[in-house]
Amino acid sequence: MRLLAAMVVLCAGSAFAQAWPAKPIRWIVPTGPGSAVDVNARRIAPRLAEALGQPVIVENRAGANSMIGAREAARAAPDGYTIYQAVINNALNDLLTPDPCCMLNDKLVAVTRLYTTPLVMVVHPSVQANDLKEYVALAKAQPHVLTYASGGTGSITQMLGELFKHTAGIQVREIPYKAIGAELPDLTGGHVATAYLSPVVIRDHVRSGRLRGLAVAARERLAILPEVPTMTEAGFPGVEASGWNGIFVPAGTPVAVINRLQEEIAKVLRTKDVQDDAAQLGTQAGGEKPEEFAAYVRGEIEKWGKVVKDAGIKPQ
């Protein structure tokens, strides 16, 4: 009887997947209109709609460090008509302030990664360090004098700042801001010494000399900042950090629907213009299979969980 019941469920799921989609799809974005995450969604959604034959409507649900959107998505019916563009904040929330309603790889299941953007370590030109080794030597000579900007407790910039401090064995004071990027005026004005920001945000400042790029927290150099070495090249292997976002759906969504979503989104991400745009922004387009993306997210949570423990980071 159990086998028969399983076969009935499987057949029903297959039939549903064949009929899907039969109405518009909601794409929930946890950030505001005009944000990088929102822009990515609105670039991909029309092409996904064309492939699926139904409108894909982007809805912004910003707030609570991306949790408002996550909660709404997790409460939605698992029928393939609600998709959620999770960001790295969601994974870090699962570490520091977990909400059982909407944890990634549990109540929300992975479909595919969209974009990954490595962070770049930059300093104000007044910092007497032309490369990372000189920076470390300066920090060791003057403990707690150098500062670094973060986006606040649980932000990826705080995580990278603490990971680098721990790896290099230095003491640099954290200056928290309300959001990642909010520190830029103070950084270019010399009020904070160090920051970890996305390539496109600091590219022109580095080229003009208003900031100095010390290292890219990635395995490879970036085409838009070819002169900036990786952390590994600069002598600190393993110090890597990126902002990422990807698609999740409510747990219970039919596997066939998840696979179809992944396949169609991956096709969009592989197009030449999307790839070219990503390279110009210093980001990387994804498109991995659901199980690969789920494993990536688990790896991120494990990695940053260790940093949280080592640095003694507490939720506020």
Tokens 């969980």 locate to 305
CB-based burial label for 258 (10 Å; 0-12, 13-18, 19+): buried
Which residues, including other chains, have CB under 8 Å from residue 206's CB and lie 6 or more apart?
A: 122, 212, 213, 225, 228
- Looking at 3.50.7.10, 3.40.190.150, 3.30.930.10, 3.30.950.10, the CATH number of the domain 17-117+242-311 comes to 3.40.190.150
What is the structure's pLDDT at 6? 46
The mean pLDDT value for 285-294 works out to 97
Q: Do domains 17-117+242-311 and 120-216 have the same CATH topology?
A: yes
- Give residue-wise pLDDT tens across range 135-182: 999 999 999 999 999 999 999 999 999 999 999 999 999 999 988 889
Which of 96, 91, 97 is closest to 244 using CA atoms? 91
Question: Where are the domains positioned within the chain?
Answer: 17-117+242-311, 120-216
CATH 3.30.1280.10 fits 120-216, yes or no: no
Q: What distance in Å separates the CA atoms of residue 8 and residue 6, rounded to the nearest whole number?
A: 5
SS3 assignment, position 249: strand
Which of 111, 120, 104, 61 is closest to 265 using CA atoms? 111
The mean pLDDT value for 53-57 works out to 98
Residue 156 has, within 13 A of its CA and on its CB side, a CA count of: 27
pLDDT at 92 over 50: yes
pLDDT at 278 over 90: yes
The mean pLDDT value for 235-254 works out to 97
Confidence of residue 8 (pLDDT cuts 50, 70, 90): very low
